[in-house]
Amino acid sequence: MKNYKTAPFIVGTMRLGQWGSKMNISEIEKFIEDCIALDLIDFDHADIYGSYTTESDFGAVLKKRPDLRSQMRITTKCGIKMVSENRPEHQIKSYNLTKDHIKQSVDNSLYNLHTDYIDTLLLHRPDFLLDPQEVAAAFTELEKEGKVKYFGVSNFSVSQFELLQENFPLCTHQVEISLLHREAFENGILDQCQKWGIPPTAWSPLGGGILFKSSQDPIMIDVQKIITSLCKKYKAQPDQVLLAWLRKHPAGIIPVLGTSKLSRIKNAKESLKINLTHEEWYMLWQGVTGNEIA
């Protein structure tokens, strides 16, 4: 879709700042440089991350090092109005995808990130009051103004995606997908991405790390045994097997890595060498569901 490209993995920024590692500017700068050195040049933001502070933390690096901007692609999201001391006018958590809110959110993100364009803008959550023609008008203006190159959505249903797609061409759909969160395989979202030739991106691709923890649940124990056997076969780590499981799907799922640890990002890149067989893919599916497929 319009030559939209990303690296095989997208680097999530949610845990870099106040909601995670609380990195200082120098630490974020080194993290960015290290990711770029791995050819992982896509960074995933949202205006709300760090209670509306993480974009500014990242932007402080770009202010100091403007040379880095041309070496990366930035995704950010808008549409969630979160209760925060940094947004005292928000009385409750709500969604707003009006034209005015989208355009103001982009201007805020451009200012905070110290950049004059966003590579990809995602609508973070579907607004029940969404007017697809109004959203399309906002996207059209942002594109003409040179403020945003590509547009997509996050956490939309199949019908919500289709409603917007009929009014403006979307380039990606970010949803939660992991071995523990398999709805996208069955609810039509991945089918829809294949239909439109749109790469889906997966947030929380490792299921929050639950499968790495000891458990008394018989199903968890069984699936961990399968993961262990695949780790031995492929000389891999458990996270690498789970990422390879996602990437096996022909829709071309691109995981969003939620870690702030470079060692885990390197691990993820190494997982590109693993190509599970069809049967191994279904072994993991059967293991985690506890049932043979119909």
Alpha-carbon span 214 to 289, nearest angstrom: 18
Backbone torsion region of residue 253, taken as left when φ is above 0, otherwise alpha when ψ lies between -120 and 50, otherwise beta: beta
Helix axes 238-247, 262-270, angle to 10 degrees: 50
SS3 175: strand
**Residue 234 annotated to the active site:** no
Nearest to 253 by CA among 230, 271, 277, 279: 271
Q: 281 with 254: CB under 8 angstroms?
A: no
Q: 177 with 205: CB under 8 angstroms?
A: yes
49, 52, 111, 282: the catalytic one is 49
Alpha-carbon span 195 to 134, nearest angstrom: 25
Alpha-carbon span 192 to 200, nearest angstrom: 10
Nearest to 173 by CA among 192, 148, 147: 192
Alpha-carbon span 96 to 75, nearest angstrom: 19
Which residues on neighbouring strands pair with residue 118, listed in sequence order? 148
Tokens of 164: 């917007």
What are the backbone dihedrals phi and psi of residue 143, each rounded to the nearest 5 degrees, phi first?
-70, -45
Residues recorded for the chain? 294
Active site residues: 49
